[in-house]
Copies of this chain bind each other. A is one copy, B any other.
Amino acid sequence: MPAESDFISWIRAQQSCDDLVRLPAGDDLAILDWPPNDLLLIGVDQVLDGVHFDSTLHSPRAIGRKVMNRNLSDCAAMGCLPVAAVGTVALPRHAGLDYAKELYLGLRDAADLYHCRLVGGDTGSWDGKLVLTVTILGSSGGIEPVTRKGARPGDDIYVTGPLGGSILGRHMTFEPRVHLGRRLATPGTVTAMIDISDGLSRDLGQICEQSKVGAVIDGDLVPIHDDVCRLPPDGLTPLEHALQDGEDYELLFSSSSSIGSDATRIGRIVAEPGMWLMRDGMSEPLRPMGWEHAL
């Protein structure tokens, strides 16, 4: 029977050193030479079978890609460069070495596109379902990171793409907006940014709460993804789907100056705390609806 050590040997054979990586995966810890003038950004995200993917439907390669892309999307939302990552996998017993390799290759597929190195991990097998985590390290690389805190009354609110209906497939195949996030962060005029993972209204609520401001969204301006029209009827309008559906992984941000063709303006930051939706010239409260884990 293949063992953890076979998987680890296979991974080690693919490791290499460079300016950043002094000692890659294979010891107790990897050793990195962090560039002295760069801020270090760190975060972690997990995916759970039956919640974020379905192992009976999705390939291990696609599952690996998704967890890495979720983390890369966090880098996009801060405007930083992804530079290194470590991951864990809890494998259902008897999943096999080839399945484990495909998960790893999924991580690598996604990471390699952004020159992000995989420098460590932990593998275990159990009589439970598949869990993957990735912890990502980003570097400011000369550009001040964009947080959720800086939105100011009068800023315009933008989104980088059409929203809603990701459940039909895009939640597995989205492209993290790493280059776009970096480009948006460069001039210093984007005041707050987040990636839409839990739904526009919920994630906008994060910016409002942390920036201590409010927001007015113009319902006519919110770009709705074609996928919304293909959803089975569920009583929600297309706009409600665009406002509530999660896992779009587009960037939602506020800016103190106008943005070119990279994003669509959908509203404005206001001083009064709260969120409102304008429709047909009428204003109504916009509640933070979207994905949340119950405990």
Given A74-B29, A138-B29, A42–B86 Cβ distance below 8 Å? yes
A1-59 with Cβ < 8 A to chain B: 1-7, 22-23, 26-34, 36-46, 48-52
Per-residue interface assignment for chain A, residues 127 to 151, with 1 indicating a CB less than 8 Å from any chain B CB and 0 otherwise = 1110101011110100001011100
Residue of A27, A30, A52 most packed against chain B (CB within 10 A): A27
A210 to B45 Cα, complex, angstroms: 31
Report how far A201 CA is from B22 CA in the complex, Å.
28
| Docked-complex contact B51 and A126, CB < 8 angstroms | yes
Interchain CB contact under 8 A, A49 and B128? yes
Closest to A51 in B: B126
**Is A88 interfacial (CB-CB < 8 Å)?**
yes
Q: Are A124 and B26 in contact, CB atoms less than 8 angstroms apart?
A: no
Task: Give the chain B neighbours of A34 by CB distance below 8 A.
Answer: 34, 38-40
CB pair A44 B295 closer than 8 Å: no
Among A95-103, A157-165, A228-236, A260-268, the one that faces the other chain is A95-103
- A292 within 8 Å of B (CB atoms): yes
Complex interface: chain B residues within 8 A of A49 (CB): 126, 128
A190 at interface (Cβ–Cβ under 8 A)? no
A93 within 8 A of B: yes
A242 is an interface residue with CB less than 8 A from chain B: no
- Number of this chain's copies in the complex: 2
- Partner of A194 from the list B28, B38, B119, B210 (CB cut-off 8 Å) is B28
Pick out which of these stretches binds chain B: A77-85, A167-175, A212-220, A272-280: A77-85
Nearest B residue to A123, CB-CB: B293
Min CB–CB distance A1 → chain B (angstroms): 5
Any B CB within 8 A of the CB of A284:
no
Q: A4-B293, A26-B148 are in contact. List 13 more A-B contacts (CB 8 A).
A: A1-B294, A3-B292, A4-B292, A4-B294, A7-B295, A23-B147, A28-B194, A29-B78, A30-B42, A31-B145, A42-B84, A44-B135, A88-B133
Nearest first, the 6 A-B pairs at minimum CB distance are A36-B36, A135-B135, A29-B43, A4-B293, A29-B41, A28-B77
17 A-B pairs with C-beta separation under 8 A = A26-B210, A27-B148, A28-B148, A29-B74, A31-B78, A32-B39, A34-B40, A42-B119, A42-B135, A44-B135, A48-B128, A51-B124, A52-B124, A91-B295, A123-B295, A124-B293, A128-B131
